[in-house]
Structure 1
Amino acid sequence: MTKRPFLMALATFGAIFLVFFLIILAVGNLAGRPTPFPLGEKVGVVPITGVIFSSEKINEAITRFREDASVKAIVLRIDSPGGGVGPSQEIYDEVRRTLAVKPVVASMGSVAASGGYYVAAPANRIIANPGTITGSIGVIMEFTNFQDLLEKIGLKTQVVKSGEHKDLGSPVRPMSEEDRRILQSLIDDVHDQFVTAVAEGRSLEQDKVIALADGRIFSGRQAMAAGLVDDLGNLRDAVLLAGELAGIRGEPRTVYPAPERPRLFDYLIQESITRLRQGLQEQNPVGLQYLWQGH
């Protein structure tokens, strides 16, 4: 007799747990969050928006969708003028890694230029709007010189360095011809990496890509004529194509990365830091950039 109330309580607890589990699973599914349970075949959409400062969140989303058995294909929704060389190359590598597991389609929004094009290049197919701004295959590095300004206000800088080129790119002295030669050599090497990535990703001859890789921009229609884009269409067209490549019957359901929900205080602090950092980087970009500056 004493065991019966315990068993009933255990059964009740188990039933409540099961109901809550199913509710959480259903809500997550309706909200488009990837789950470890394949509740229907879906296409995962990974947004890549704004200047590419970091690859961490984007690659995290790509990896989760790649490992989710219910996600049969991935669409990269790109609306970006590009950004840092390192992050762009890291996303490129993650896309290539994913191609061995499931199809990837790139969908270009308003802008998918420079690094924004770089991350799209390895996809199985690239779809752009006719008026999408894309291309801008090239590398840029900027330096601002404050020497004249400092002299006007009476400030002098003393530099102690371990080698002749340790202060390469210094804003407080003129750029020498040797400085320019070193930097140009660096730019040329990274540009060659960009050209090679596009040639491999698009299965194009290196010489053909070189002819297009002078930094110019293209409309989506021009890019398709040049072989940089496969088709013209919108995001829905890209999702349908991804579903077709994955063998999904009918119109596929889409799933997006789950938004982070940090605590309010943490969110405000992190958002302030992020915006300050982005503002400083936009005003004074540091390092090599796969970036179209017309945005």
Structure 2
Amino acid sequence: MLGVLASLVVGLATAPRAGRPAARAVGSRAVGLIYVDGVITGGESAAGFFGASTGSDSVLAQLKEAREDPGVKAVVLRINSPGGSAPAAQEIGDEIERLRKAGKLVVASMGDVAASGGYWIAATSDRIIAEPATLTGSIGVIMQLTNMQNFYGKIGFSYETFKSGPHKDMGSSVRPVSPEERAIFQSMIDDIYGQFINVVAQGRNMPVERVRAIADGRVFTGRQAKTAGLVDELGNFNYALDRAAALAGLGKDYEVREFGKLTPIERLLNQLAGAASLRLPFAAGSVPAAPGPAGLYLLFVPPAMQ
């Protein structure tokens, strides 16, 4: 058993990462590669048995490294994400703008899903490439609250709240949302939604009115998104790498320089998380039993193929 375990560890440590391209050539003619996998969150990226997440702090560090690397002439963002935290997606988008201002070309390559917050990130790039069957779009903001008042009453559970102001416990699970609170929550959603609209309009060079007409939360296939002007080209991951190199004037002889490489154990956890995510539902912005506000999310929950 120990021998088998040792062989497995050695194999994980030495085997090339599945789906990751090998470096081509060497020198100062490089295309940077950054992955945005799983739900987008604040903080550091994480991998686990029940889901992987991309942390904005981790991606910001990788984007900064690519920006300061003189050998990197273009960057491919490989996005496979249903979205997530609105501020986290915004942070990443802002850093992509800095990367572009530094003279680096940015190409977004969409995988299975690049929706909601994943599309926010893609919209800040110079060019978007998707597969015809990619699920993308879902431009919108969502917040969900849980009211457990009736349940608590059935089990004899009571909650007493002391607060400094009338809205300090907005989103509490122990009472209904008041009309005034409902208006406050909706104003927050509308504000972030307007910011999302502006990011897409600016990134895609589209009138705001045209973006609003299709930004009702609907999901597009990659082919539909291209027709709607949300995607530039159809193609796979390798095509996106070659296209980024060509647009940056690197030709066919270029190096792929990956930032934020995972350890063998992280790779294994990500693979397990990817399989689990097809089976487990994700509650966007759900509120725990204790009172407190929910998060504002840019999230699309894709259906699992049976």
Which residue does 1:14 correspond to in 2? none
Which residue does 1:169 correspond to in 2? 171
Decide whether the 8 Å contact of 2:34 with 2:260 is kept in 1.
Answer: no
Which residue does 1:108 correspond to in 2? 110
* Paired AA for residue 74 in structure 1: V
Decide whether the 8 Å contact of 2:282 with 2:301 is kept in 1.
Answer: no
CA distance in 2, matches of 1:251, 1:106: 21
Decide whether the 8 Å contact of 2:144 with 2:285 is kept in 1.
Answer: no
Decide whether the 8 Å contact of 2:116 with 2:139 is kept in 1.
Answer: yes
Which of the numbers 183, 186, 197 marks the counterpart of 1:184? 186
CA shift, 1:260, in A, is 5.5
Which of the numbers 23, 34, 42 marks the counterpart of 2:30? 42
Unpaired runs of at least 5, structure 2? 1-20, 42-54, 270-280, 288-293
Q: Pairwise mapping of residues 110-125 of structure 1 onto structure 2 (< 5 A)?
A: 110-125=112-127
Q: More displaced, 189-198 or 177-186?
A: 177-186
CA distance in 2, matches of 1:229, 1:280: 26
CA shift, 1:280, in A, is 9.8
Decide whether the 8 Å contact of 1:196 with 1:206 is kept in 2.
Answer: yes
Higher relative contact order (CA 8 A, sep 6+): 2
Q: Pairwise mapping of residues 101-250 of structure 1 onto structure 2 (< 5 A)?
A: 101-250=103-252
Q: Could you say if the C-alpha distance between residues 131 and 261 of structure 1 is closer, same or farther in structure 2, counting changes exceeding 3 Å?
A: closer
Q: Could you say if the C-alpha distance between residues 184 and 125 of structure 1 is closer, same or farther in structure 2, counting changes exceeding 3 Å?
A: same
Please state whether the residue corresponding to 2:181 is helix, strand or coil.
helix
Please state whether the residue corresponding to 1:179 is helix, strand or coil.
helix
After superposition, give the CA deviation of every residue in 1:179-213 in whole Å (9 maximum; x if it has no partner).
Answer: 11111111111100000011011111000000011
Which residue does 1:58 correspond to in 2? 59
CA shift, 1:283, in A, is 8.1
Which of structure 1's runs of 4+ aligned residues deviate more than 6 A?
279-283
Higher Cα Rg, which structure: 1
Do residues 294 (structure 1) and 302 (structure 2) align? yes
After superposition, the CA RMSD in angstroms is 2.7
Please state whether the residue corresponding to 1:178 is helix, strand or coil.
helix
After superposition, give the CA deviation of every residue in 1:94-123 in whole Å (9 maximum; x if it has no partner).
Answer: 111111221000000000000000000011
After superposition, give the CA deviation of every residue in 1:199-246 in whole Å (9 maximum; x if it has no partner).
Answer: 011111000000011000000000000000000001111111111121
CA distance in 1, matches of 2:260, 2:133: 30
Decide whether the 8 Å contact of 1:239 with 1:252 is kept in 2.
Answer: no
Q: More displaced, 77-86 or 249-258?
A: 249-258
Length, aligned pairs only = 252
Decide whether the 8 Å contact of 1:59 with 1:94 is kept in 2.
Answer: yes
* Paired AA for residue 238 in structure 2: R
Q: Could you say if the C-alpha distance between residues 218 and 31 of structure 1 is closer, same or farther in structure 2, counting changes exceeding 3 Å?
A: closer
Unpaired runs of at least 5, structure 1? 1-29, 33-37, 269-278
Q: Could you say if the C-alpha distance between residues 283 and 215 of structure 1 is closer, same or farther in structure 2, counting changes exceeding 3 Å?
A: closer
Please state whether the residue corresponding to 1:120 is helix, strand or coil.
helix
Please state whether the residue corresponding to 1:52 is helix, strand or coil.
strand
Which residue does 1:27 correspond to in 2? none
CA distance in 2, matches of 1:235, 1:46: 12
CA shift, 1:294, in A, is 2.9
- Give the TM-score of the pair, scaled to structure 1: 0.79
Decide whether the 8 Å contact of 2:129 with 2:232 is kept in 1.
Answer: yes
Which residue does 1:71 correspond to in 2? 72
Decide whether the 8 Å contact of 2:137 with 2:220 is kept in 1.
Answer: yes
CA distance in 2, matches of 1:179, 1:99: 40
Percentage identity across aligned positions? Answer: 48
CA distance in 1, matches of 2:173, 2:85: 21
Which residue does 1:21 correspond to in 2? none
Please state whether the residue corresponding to 2:75 is helix, strand or coil.
strand
